[in-house]
Amino acid sequence: MTDNGRAGVRLGAVQQTLMIPLYGRAVETGRRRPLLSDPAAVRIVTSLDYDFAQVKSFMRGAQGSVLRTAMFDVWVRRFLADHPDGTVVELGTGLNTRFERVDNGRVTWFDVDLPEVIELRRRYFTDTDRRRMLACSLLDPGWVPAVQASPGPCLFVAEAVLLYFEPGEVEQAIRLIGANFPGALLALETGGRVMADSVNRREVMRGMGARVRWICEDPAELEPLGLRLLESRTFAGPQPELRARMPLRLRALSAVMGALFRRHVRSYRLNLFRARGAQDDRS
């Protein structure tokens, strides 16, 4: 704790980027018609001794992070509708609060992140019989046994994390999942050069010292790593059930981005994959 009674924050460059979606969800929760409601994000933001000035100046990006989170939420809810007793793994969880939004009372849940992030998370969340925090890199196979011991099938969610990895590290992460969880679902983002250059020029990213390092122009490029692409969407084309409840301001933002910034929108995609199993390999 600092002198003002708030929780201090000590995070690396990439880990600091978790503050952008956290702040975005907190602001969204206070709107008259929020796309998602996240009281936990509000509580965390108000308790942290962190200068959100840079993030506040980046509100368009923070709004985009809210739409991204809501789109990932749709895939998690679909998974839980089909597999209510399955397992969800948040890779590079940051200060995400997806469990609080989608918990069905039956899912087994793991939050995986680096030790300094998990230390921060433990100020706000506790392990339970269905939810555990695992303090290690997602590249470290040390988290694998705990997930393998949990009820299947599995959905892995990597939101706002792999883009900051080197290409070889992304391949390592995908192969780690595919080798140990054949048939699992994996939700992740891909970004092309246009998207990466745009993000890396932003003042908030330069201030944090974080950069997009992995360039992927087409999510189908990942299929040779043992994945099958099931669904790929941009901000201009969210899932139908999400679009139906989007507030007008976000519908307008989505439409404007799709019309005026087509190259940028197409360069950033949210994707759902399935890890191929032995049967797929033989086909």
Q: What is the pLDDT of residues 52-98, one digit of tens each?
A: 887 876 665 578 899 999 999 999 999 999 999 999 999 999 999 99
Report whether the peptide linkage leading into residue 115 is cis, meaning its omega lies within 30 degrees of zero: no
- pLDDT more than 90, % of the chain: 71
Q: What's the pLDDT at 255?
A: 74
Are 84 and 39 contacting, i.e. CB atoms less than 8 angstroms apart? no
Residues 15-35: what's their mean pLDDT?
90
User: Quick one: tokens of 138?
Assistant: 């997602």
**79 beta partners:** none
Going from the C-alpha of 23 to that of each of 1, 56, 58, 198, 267, the distances in angstroms are 20, 8, 10, 21, 24
Q: Can the peptide bond before residue 153 be classed as cis, meaning omega within 30 degrees of 0? A: yes
pLDDT at 250: 79
Q: What does the alpha-carbon distance between residue 145 and residue 155 come to, in Å, rounded to a whole number?
A: 15
* pLDDT tens-digit readout, 220-251: 999 999 999 999 999 889 999 999 999 887 78
Predicted local distance difference test score (pLDDT) of residue 1 = 41
235 phi, psi to nearest 5 deg: -60, -25
Q: Do β-strands 185-191 and 154-158 pair in parallel, antiparallel, or remain unpaired?
A: parallel
Statement: residue 154 has pLDDT above 80: yes
pLDDT of 6 strictly over 90 = no
Single-letter code of the amino acid located at 192:
G
Local confidence band at 4 (pLDDT 50, 70, 90 cut-offs): very low
Structural domains of the chain in order of their starting residue, each with its CATH number: 7-282 (3.40.50.150)
Burial of 57 (0-12, 13-18, 19+ CB in 10 A): middle
Are β-strands 108-113 and 87-91 bridged in parallel, bridged antiparallel, or unpaired? parallel
- Look at residue 249 in the predicted model and tell me its pLDDT: 78
Q: What is the pTM of this model?
A: 0.91
Distances (CA, A) of 28 to 50, 67, 124: 19, 10, 20
- Quote the pLDDT of residue 281: 46
Q: Rounded to an integer, what distance in angstroms lies between the CA atom of residue 83 and that of residue 91?
A: 20
Contacts 24+ apart (CB under 8 A), 26-29: 27/59, 27/62, 28/63, 28/66
Contact 67, 45 (CB under 8 A): no
Statement: residue 196 has pLDDT above 60: yes
Percent of the chain with pLDDT over 70: 88
What is the band of 42 on the pLDDT scale with cuts at 50, 70, 90?
very high
**SS3 of 156, please?**
strand
pLDDT band at 150, cuts 50/70/90?
very high
**Which tokens is 159 given?**
């939101």
